[in-house]
Structure 1
């Protein structure tokens, strides 16, 4: 064999050995992250069997190209369509503990508000609890899951989200007077405050939130509060909008009187209330609402 070919083969062999060494080192070091409880979670390697008990986390795992690692989800995880075929393990706040354990997951992803984390950990499972209220939280959670799943450049997903939100905002004409908007998130009068990811999207769209910042990201609002604020536009999900006109004082509000109410169907509501990879789509839905119902 010519000397040049022999040198080339030696070079390739050395490269392969070096790569194998790096892989072995990565496996030896494993994965270590700190979740939003401040709990340090260590795994011998990136998890291959994942249970996700929060729809936004399910969607993020899939957007990172790792849907195939999911072995079970909560009852509300319905996107993408492939996750609907997975075992449903109850709600995120009240999962079916025995069913989760039976799936032998390497890690369970869940909200910090769930009380099930300690029970699952007591049974020997690894839990990563994450909290997403703001856009900054959504970006941080995306990075945490990218690290956990050993997905390089997870931030590319965030760059795409930002580009989409920016495009939605630019699609709206400039307004001389910002619209005053009330967004009702769920039954019982829970609203999107300015510091929530929904409130931040509203601000990006150039509208004003009637909920004041001091009330927090998702406060429970008295119906009279909304009547006094008299918003120009109301955004609400169809499953929360029943008897909207029957609420005391609401028929006299300008938004209800002038039919400036955007009622989102269930699929649209899912997009809007989940702080995950579909936030650009949420911005487009919000922009469409403002464009169609918000004109004076």
Structure 2
């Protein structure tokens, strides 16, 4: 009798389909996967870093050209940019799922070719937490939000490291050429707020506004934060040579590697807060060398 019952139970288990995995992405689209994906193409550096921080780098089979951290992803096939991926190259990798930004032009074409796409694009702290949770759900990694708890603790520690004299420093953070600035509602702007300094951008401008350089001249920030890729010729911008930050050398120019840390809403956000805190502490207290 026991043998018959065991055989019946085994038959039921074999006939019962594996429960599908469903996740709703930032478009509001619910994506159904037969199982947790084993072959993943990631087309946004922050998503790539999150997958790896969750210990699942081995599932990545391709990345965008800007995904360069951790070092192990540099050996993976690159399939174009996040906004303009090489669709044919992505398809050739036979991914179970493609992780990419909602703003990417390749989403609909990849879906039309039968690929599963999960579009996620964090812009602020709440977004970052949600995206980490979503990726943890897709990868079936428990407690993915442990990453966010570590980030939160790291940002708090960076804020506590700043001397009282550095508080209320007025900061301009340039994200990229355009120029595009870090607005108050962006993850960068939120970090500046937690550090206790003031962003010269006003809330109505949005998370990453393209601004008129004259806006910065009128605001006359105490400290300017900018990447080395964008820093050349700052003093030649109309009116900029007369700003206090340039006259007194209150300028933090970040290396390309540091800029990657600063502008990616992912697992290294606590390191980004430490970079910003170090800049503020070193530039807000006393003048540095003038910028030529």
Tell me the TM-score normalised to structure 2 length. 0.92
CA contact (8 A) 2:183 2:205 kept: yes
Q: Who is 1:31 aligned against?
A: 21
- Give the counterpart of 1:256 among 214, 239, 246: 246
Match of 1:289 in 2: 279
What is the CA deviation profile of residues 234-286 of structure 1, one whole-angstrom value per residue up to 9, with x for unaligned ones?
A: 00000000111111111100000000000000000000000000000000100
In structure 2, C-alpha distance between the alignment counterparts of 1:238 and 1:176, rounded to whole Å: 24
Q: 8 Å contact 2:165–2:285 — kept in the other structure?
A: no
Within 1, Cα distance between the matches of 2:121 and 2:237? Answer: 33
Alignment of 1:14-29 (within 5 A): 28-29=18-19
Alignment-derived partner of residue 65 in structure 1:
55
Cα distance, 1:30 vs. partner?
2.0
Which of 56, 75, 87 is 2:77 aligned to?
87
Whether the 8 Å contact between 2:166 and 2:280 is mirrored in structure 1 is: no
Residue equivalent to 1:167: 157
Q: For the structure 1 residues 151 and 94, does the alpha-carbon distance in structure 2 shift closer, same or farther, using more than 3 Å as the test?
A: same
Structure 2 CA distance, aligned partners of 1:148 and 1:91?
A: 23
Show the counterpart of 2:210. Answer: 220
Tell me the residue number matched to 2:290: none
Match of 1:158 in 2: 148
Which TM-score applies when normalising by structure 1?
A: 0.91
Please tell me the root mean square deviation across aligned C-alpha atoms, in Å: 2.0
Counterpart CA distance in 2 for 1:41 and 1:97 is 19
1:246 and 1:29, CA in 2 relative to 1: closer, same or farther beyond 3 A?
same
1: distance between equivalents of 2:55 and 2:15? 23
Who is 1:246 aligned against? 236
Q: Which range moves more in the overlay, 244-253 or 27-36? A: 27-36
* Aligned mates of 2:76, 2:137 — CA distance in 1: 24
Q: Which runs of 4+ in 1 moved over 3 A?
A: none
Equivalent positions of 1:7-156 (< 5 A) are 28-156=18-146
CA–CA separation in structure 1 for the residues paired with 2:193 and 2:228? 23
Structure 2 CA distance, aligned partners of 1:150 and 1:158? 17
Find the counterpart in structure 1 of residue 189 from structure 2.
Answer: 199
SS at match of 1:28: coil
The alpha-carbon deviation at position 29 of structure 1 amounts to 1.3
- Measure, in 2, the Cα distance between the counterparts of 1:181 and 1:283: 14
Q: Residue 210 of structure 1: which of 200, 207, 226 is its match?
A: 200
Residue from 224, 232, 257 that aligns with 1:234: 224
- 106-115 or 166-175: bigger deviation: 166-175
Query: 2-side partners of 1:205 and 1:195: how far apart?
Result: 15
Where does the alignment leave 5 or more consecutive residues of structure 1 unmatched?
A: 1-13
Q: Distance in 1 between matches of 2:167 and 2:159?
A: 16
Q: CA deviation at 1:24?
A: 9.6
